[in-house]
Structure 1
Amino acid sequence: MVATPTQRLVVIGNGMAGCRAVEEVLARDPAAYRITIFGAEPRVNYNRIMLSPVLAGEKAFEDIVINDAGWYADNAITLVSGDPVVAIDRAAQTVTAASGRVEPYDRLLLATGSDPFIIPVPGADLPGVVTFRDLDDVDKMLRAAERGGQAVVIGGGLLGLEAAHGLSLRGMGVTVIHLMPTLMERQLDEAAGYLLKTELERRGQTILTGADTAEILGENGHVAGVRLKDGREIAADLVVMAVGIRPATALAKAAGLAVERGVVVDDHMVTSDPAIMAVGECVQHRGACYGLVAPLWEMCRALADAACGLAGPGFAGSVTSTKLKVSGIDLFSAGDFSGGADCEDIVMRDAARGLYKRVVVQDGRVIGAVLYGDTADGAWYFDLLRRGTDIADLRDRLIFGQAHALGGGAATDPLATVAALPDDAEVCGCNGVSKGTVMATIAGGACSLDAVRSQCKASASCGSCTGLVEQLLALTLGDDVQSGPKTMCKCTSFTHADVRRLIVEREFKLIPQVMQELNWSTPDGCASCRPALNYYLLCAWPGQYKDDQQSRFVNERLHANIQKDGSYSVVPRMWGGMTNPDELRAIADATEKYGRMVKVTGGQRLDIFGVKKEDLPKIWADLNAAGMVSGHAYGKSLRTVKTCVGSEWCRFGTQDSTGLGIAIERMTWGSWMPHKFKIAVSGCPRNCAEATIKDFGVVCVDSGYELHVGGNGGIHVRATDLLCKVATEAEAMQVCAAFIQLYREEAWYLERTAPWIERVGLAHVKARLFDAPDAVERLAARFAYAQTFMQDDPWARRAGGEDAELHQHLGEFRPFPTPALLEAAE
């Protein structure tokens, strides 16, 4: 029996800092305190940083809840919501809430946050003038946006621009008024601010810099506009005040605590009263107040150490970085970029592409960085800054980013760049999570972005490091990263299912057309949506849509996999796992000329390792000349068809599994899929080819062929489901083609057959294949039709002379459509 804690901890503030501090205390000693949390808002703790995506329609409130009601219950925490504390009695060690409730404490934690600054101008109290601090403010803006009209946002800082973006997406005309000549002047220099202003204006917003508000105008008791000091007037149905915040110190002042700009605390977050701690935006530490999440989390760790009697290092101040949460605008800022006589500016500018990078160096160390248009190296610059790394040896290459600075052209691949980060490099500044922690979380079984977020909190706050976490997932798990029913990417609020459906319904046949018609928030998409759109269009309109190679992942373009040392490996195709002396000689020659090692793969092929990037065209030319084509070991496509030796050689074999496997591979190879796709044919129920852990498996039996689907032999092993049993090879091949086509047409991009079948159900798959008398025939015909338009990539060209061998196993089903099949496909 666990003893009930006797120490009482009362927390004033149910926001991010207060609850994070409680989480840190619970992680150290869950039995240390009986905890009561008072919150002014009538709801559970949520991620205030993500209010901007809620306003923009990219997330719902449920998506940004950090601690739901179950968390409070599971940890025996008493939550008093919607009842703010109005007084502290330090002598009696009690707090009194607005309702009159009195709660005693042994330790008190102030996490009162900040108050929005309201500029003292006439009309500031008119209905229709709102701030942007909590969910109630968002609700007011959403109600205003439903009526349409004009919005004026006063303040061109982070919060103001995010509010303007959200209101613009909601259909309001938006004008941003900013007092200073540069947007986000605390984070951006003049050049980056100009690029940001230009992009926002291109999106339809009106940006007025150097503009000073004189008065907020009213009409019929409601806001009607804003008058500037130069006499200009801007009509407004809604005015958003986003000019800054101030630490919320009224309660602390009334209690007699030491207060300057904020509540004064020491390195362990203890106030002038030893029984009272404080954390978050209300705090002043060593003369500094912080309004960003990362230092707040550092404060929470220091506070929890002290509250649990542990000898921690305390909080020593923080270096902060900033990203703007506006879809399609990549912006990063960190440190001091004001420069000076003893500082050196290193600048790269490409105005035509909207790229700007500035790194400020002092005494051989990075002290500040501003990136616009390409923020991939933000984490690296921030790591150099935070560590005070001597960059003398990198100086000439520093501005070109980590890949070039550290050497090696192959490292320009994003995965190579993230692989080069040290384990203690900070990935998530908001939560103080290192690369090593993320990698350990993934190694411990977190196979999706959501799992990583829930277990170590990386990318769970502002979300700006999501791409980096996804790259770490890809680096660690490769194709075994799990995906799910979420929006396609940050560029759109549509899900994969929505986009697939609308491409067909509205007959979209170009990537720019999809983005334009579905109101993409970025002009050119991103690395997540462009490959998905390219695949969906290829699948929907074979022969009409031209494959966009630049929208493919780099490994698909190169037909090669990047390896740990920056070199590449290539895998030529071996039909059904079979080879011959000529092919073996060609592989041996290619390995001697271009590679360093050859390895037998689990899919019964040979993988040539150690190839330099510049040698990839040459090694593929040599392999093609020997009649060998790409094995697509690097693509979202058919990978392998694994076989056993079957009835020709094995005394247990019941059918010609090798011949059938070769025929299936020649029929299906080169077909682009939502994810990688593996097939196996076992010649008897002993299942030597492991057909029951493949996407499509054939198990030969005396009376015919058992067809299995949805297997996965990766991190999470899944045995197949029995789809059906057929009597002939031709039927087996036809059902295989039909199943693949159904998967191609219905699954989301990067969703393997196992999670697809678990999502839609085996009954759905069977119904789509077998309920209609001609369903299999029509799906197989559509697959065959699409195969005729397989890309004619010179590194993956179809080998000739295959038809005779193939037709021995096809019966009446052909890989190339007859007029009847074309009619069925249409």
Structure 2
Amino acid sequence: MNKKKIVLIGNGMAGVGCIEHISKLAGDAFDITIFGSEPYPNYNRIQLSYVLAGDSSIQDIILNDWNWYKENDITLHAGHRVSRIDVDHRCVYTESGISESYDELIIATGSNPFILPVPGADKEGVIAYRDIKDCNSMIAASKMYKKAVVIGGGLLGLEAARGLLNLSMDVSVVHVCDHLMERQLDPTASKLLQAELESQGMKFLMNKQTEEILGHDRVQALRFTDGTGVEADLVVMAAGIRPNVSLAKESGIAVNRGIVVNDWLKTNIANVYAVGECAEHRGVVYGLVAPLYEQAAVLAKSICGVQTKPYEGSVLSTKLKVSGVDVFSAGEFIDQDDTRSLRYQDDFNGIYKKILVRDNKIMGAVLFGDTSDSSRLFQMIRDGADVSACKTLLAKQTSSCETAGATTVAEMADDDLICGCNGVSKGTIVQAIREQGLDSIDGVKGCTGASRSCGGCKPLVEDLLKRTLGSQFKAAEKDAICSCTRLSRDEVVEAIRSKRLTAVKEVMHVLDWDNKEGCSKCRPALNYYLGMVWPQDHQEERDSRFINERFHANIQNDGTYSVVPRMYGGVTNPEELRRIANVAEKYQARLVKLTGGQRIDLLGIKKEDLPKVWAELDMPSGYAYGKALRTVKTCVGADFCRFGTQNSIQMGIDLEKKFERLQTPHKVKMAVSACPRNCAESGIKDIGVVGVDGGWELYVGGNGGVHLRGGDLFVKVKTSEEVVQWSAAFLQYYRENASYLERTSHWVERVGLDSIKEVLADPAVRQELVERLNESLAVTTDPWKEHIEDEKLRSMFDKITVSATGN
């Protein structure tokens, strides 16, 4: 049987969405070829902002990978732009010389970004924001330049601006109107959004029209029509889009603003269709994903001969999520003479809701701060529901802050939409869960398409899974790092990394901490995680450290402090001992004690004397107070002991000098013993090194404290260099994966020694870990070397009063 030939021009969401439907309905009946101008498989363009913001990678937003085309016998010409359509002979031609005949032609060329026609728009550093190439250009620019200006305060512009902020750029948004997202938000919601984004560091230049882009070869500034201006190293045009209709127009296909189509998505040329942002239906061009998928479904059924209703237009909805700011808009949202509205506003919790009503029917809504009702409201707007339905929704807002917005899927009817982007109802998802045995959001997404586009419906999908599966639903276990947030350690660290957060306050703000000031548990943890992820860019916050770490000494029960200078491997010399004795005598140390870590502890030092004590000692801090390497205990080794097989003293000194000042999730103690007699107690240390004939054994996860634990044999090596490398790799892997205040002993038990061994067995992985550890060490200095002459630090000791039992 000869298959009909379908050619699709455009490898985007609308066109490939149509092909997905065709493949499911009658895939065997068609020979399908797709031309895409970009060298990528089909990806989710509306999630480019997540890539720019660092929340996702390019791979994360791929909708259909290369294998999908092969599995469905679809020929994809990626990176080939169609230059001509011969509608008389039903053939398309590409710039690269490829030609392909067709029986049915679908044009899904999308839209082009609107570039302001102002002088200087062609300068280097002026780009659009439309595809992966633009996204990569912005990321590259952020590494070389600091001042970014986004032209356009709409949905796309704000998402671009937030992404540039996450790339550590100074970002200003230029908007021609007096409020943001004027096509989706009323003035009240817009002002709330602007205030929230300003608090995150975004700057706004409202009521500004660009007159000229200044600079020589590269942009340097913008000048506005009112005579003012702004400096810029990078200009991102996000002032709108225009349907990409040039190919259709040159081929004799009817074009107005877009390619004109009827209710079956047919153009004026036989067997030629248009779908998506390039199509104009009943005088309307749609730029949002939900209408495009609705069009795609109708066109697919029409081509396959499946009976369906014609496409009669769409109710528009918009959802924005920028750094924890939730915004939803659907239908009409500006008050008119013939409309009334229901409003709820809570300035304390940053929540605003308005529902617009005409003739007792819900016509539209705006939600800010709490969009949990968005799916139900969108369904009501589409259905023209009676106003009483939304009165019920708003009534519960006044009951308590705890239950505000607590719409659950249990209250939704089976035909209520869960996923507005893809038109997936509650009933469809429940049926798929039951019949297909789905037990995860990814499973639901793959089977039904729900949460596939903007992802805003994921909480509802998860709630449906819980309610449908009951006790069989096994949510991923996660322990919040403290009561200030519901986020787990892994979620916080991933957000720090993906959103490029660099300060404690920024983390708490962006991740919507319940307690906006944090607590004594989460603030030190966040300070550590930030330093671990961004050793070069972390904004150290000394106030977020524990008191001992702030003063570089251990507070005692009488309010005085214990000072422990570092002695590498427990080795000292007469000069150091004289300085220690002189300081102890001068500052009236109550006790001079040898510690279990082979060092000297000066106890009873007054708080105000600490800077002078450290200055006169002129020795590195021993970090006896820190979540860091404390000591490397050693025996006398082969140079002195008749049983010793290795030089344990030198090995201990090398390890201590290598890892001193390294911040870790909890204190770390090490030891080096020259033989299996273990005189340095290597068997109960976080890392224990034991000399044996011909090499060394490394033990990890030991603990000599309350929860006594013997170390596990980790690896056997031959050289001292290997001891340092394996120790470094283990420490960095611990730093990157353990929870704050989790000792290596607990971490090894939790994750399993075998899994750690498996990761570190790869030499390339070990090397990468060592390099990241070295990067962290490169920015550290001894705290007293760095601060000893700083008068601000001296005054800090004079001003701060801390009780002996505090913090």
Query: Normalized against structure 1, the TM-score is what?
Result: 0.60
Cα distance in 2 for residues equivalent to 1:486 and 1:133: 36
Q: What does residue 51 of structure 2 align with?
A: 54
Deviation at 1:351, TM superposition (A): 2.5
Secondary structure of 2:196's counterpart equals: helix
Q: Structure 1, residues 204-258: CA drift from partner, whole Å, max 9, x if none?
A: 1111111111111113x00111111111110100000001011111011011111
Preserved CA contact (<8 Å) 2:372 2:406: no
Deviation track 1:439-469 (CA, whole Å, cap 9, x = no partner) reads 2233332212222211211111111222222
Q: 2: CA distance between counterparts of 1:481 and 1:129? A: 50
Describe the superposition over 1:273-320 as per-residue Cα deviations: whole angstroms up to 9, x where unpaired.
121111100000111110000010000110011110112112111001
Residue aligning to 2:385:
389
Instruction: Tell me what 1:400 maps to.
Output: 395
Structure 2 counterpart of 1:463:
455
Quote how far apart the aligned CAs of 1:525 are. Answer: 3.6
2:144 alignment counterpart: 147
3-state SS of 2:510 partner: coil
State the SS of the aligned residue for 1:52: helix
Counterpart Cα distance in 1 of 2:82 and 2:374: 41
Q: What per-residue deviation string (whole Å, max 9, x for no partner) do you get for residues 638-685 of structure 1? A: xxxxxxxxxxxxxxxxxxxxxxxxxxxxxxxxxxxxxxxxxxxxxxxx
Q: What is the CA distance between 1:141 and its match in structure 2? A: 0.3
Aligned to 2:445, which of 426, 443, 453? 453
Deviations 1:456-511 (A, max 9, x none): 1111111122222222223333565456699999x99x9844858999xxxxxxxx
Instruction: Give the corresponding residue for 1:111.
Output: 108
| Correspondence 1:583-602 to 2 at 5 A | none
Residue pair 1:360, 1:367 contacting (<8 A) in 2 also: yes
CA distance in 2, matches of 1:109, 1:63: 27
Superposed CA offset, 1:335-378 (max 9, x none): 01122111102222222332211111111111011111111111
1:237/1:69 CA distance change after superposition, 3 Å: same
CA RMSD of aligned residues (A): 3.9
Indicate if the aligned counterparts of 1:366 and 1:385 stay in contact, CA closer than 8 A. yes
**Which has the larger displacement, 118-127 or 443-452?**
443-452
Equivalent position of 2:273 in the other structure: 277
Structure 1 residues 748 and 32: alpha-carbon distance in aligned structure 2, compared to 1, 3 A threshold? farther
Residues 213-362 of structure 1: matches in 2 within 5 Å?
213-219=210-216, 221-362=217-358
Change (3 A) 1:521 1:133: farther
In the other structure, the counterpart of 1:702 is none
CA contact (8 A) 2:115 2:239 kept: yes
Structure 2 equivalent of residue 423 of structure 1: 414
Provide the secondary structure at the position in 2 that maps to 1:167: helix
Looking at structure 2, the residues matched to 64 and 501 of structure 1 have their Cα atoms a distance apart, in angstroms, of 17
Change (3 A) 1:535 1:377: farther
SS in 1 for 2:28: coil
Q: Tell me, what secondary structure is at the counterpart of 2:143?
A: helix
Counterpart secondary structure, 1:208:
strand
SS of the residue 2:507 aligns to: coil
CA distance in 2, matches of 1:102, 1:128: 36
**Runs of 4+ that moved beyond 6 A:** 408-411, 413-416, 484-489, 500-503, 533-538, 745-749, 756-759
Question: Does the CA-based 8 Å contact 2:504-2:523 persist in structure 1?
Answer: no
Mapped contact 1:48–1:134 kept (Cα < 8 A) = yes
Q: Secondary structure in 2 aligned to 1:226? A: strand
Give the 3-state SS of the residue equivalent to 1:325 in structure 2. strand
1:28 aligns with 2:25: yes
Deviation at 1:760, TM superposition (A): 5.6
Q: Measure the CA separation in 2 of the matches of 1:350 and 1:99.
A: 58
Please give the alpha-carbon distance, in whole angstroms, between the structure 2 residues aligned to 1:396 and 1:413.
Answer: 14
Alignment partner, residue 158 of structure 2 = 161
Shift of 1:325: 3.0
Distance 2:237 2:502 in 1: 35
Partners of 1:501 and 1:36 lie apart in 2 by 39
Whether the 8 Å contact between 1:448 and 1:482 is mirrored in structure 2 is no
Question: Offset of 1:189 from its aligned partner?
Answer: 0.5
| Structure 1: gaps of 5 or more residues | 504-512, 546-733, 736-744, 750-755, 768-826
Match in the other structure for 2:16? 19
Q: 1:432 aligns with which of 419, 423, 436?
A: 423
Residues in 2 aligned to 1:409 and 1:461: alpha-carbon distance in whole angstroms:
32
Q: Is the 8 A contact 2:145 2:234 kept in 1?
A: no
- In structure 2, which of residues 191, 194, 198 is the aligned counterpart of residue 197 of structure 1? 194
CA distance in 1, matches of 2:192, 2:494: 36
CA 6–139 in structure 1, closer or farther in 2 if over 3 Å, else same: same
- Name the counterpart of 1:134: 131
- Equivalenced residues, count: 539
Tell me if structure 1 keeps the 8 A contact 2:9–2:82: yes
- Which structure 2 residues correspond to residues 538-687 of structure 1 after superposition, within 5 A? none
Quick one: distance in 1 between partners of 2:479 and 2:126? 32
Q: TM-score scaled by structure 2? A: 0.61
How has the CA–CA distance of structure 1 residues 416 and 222 changed in structure 2, closer, same or farther, with 3 Å as cutoff? Answer: closer
Q: Note the residue ranges of structure 2 that are not aligned, 5 or more in a row.
A: 529-543, 545-707, 710-735, 741-746, 759-807
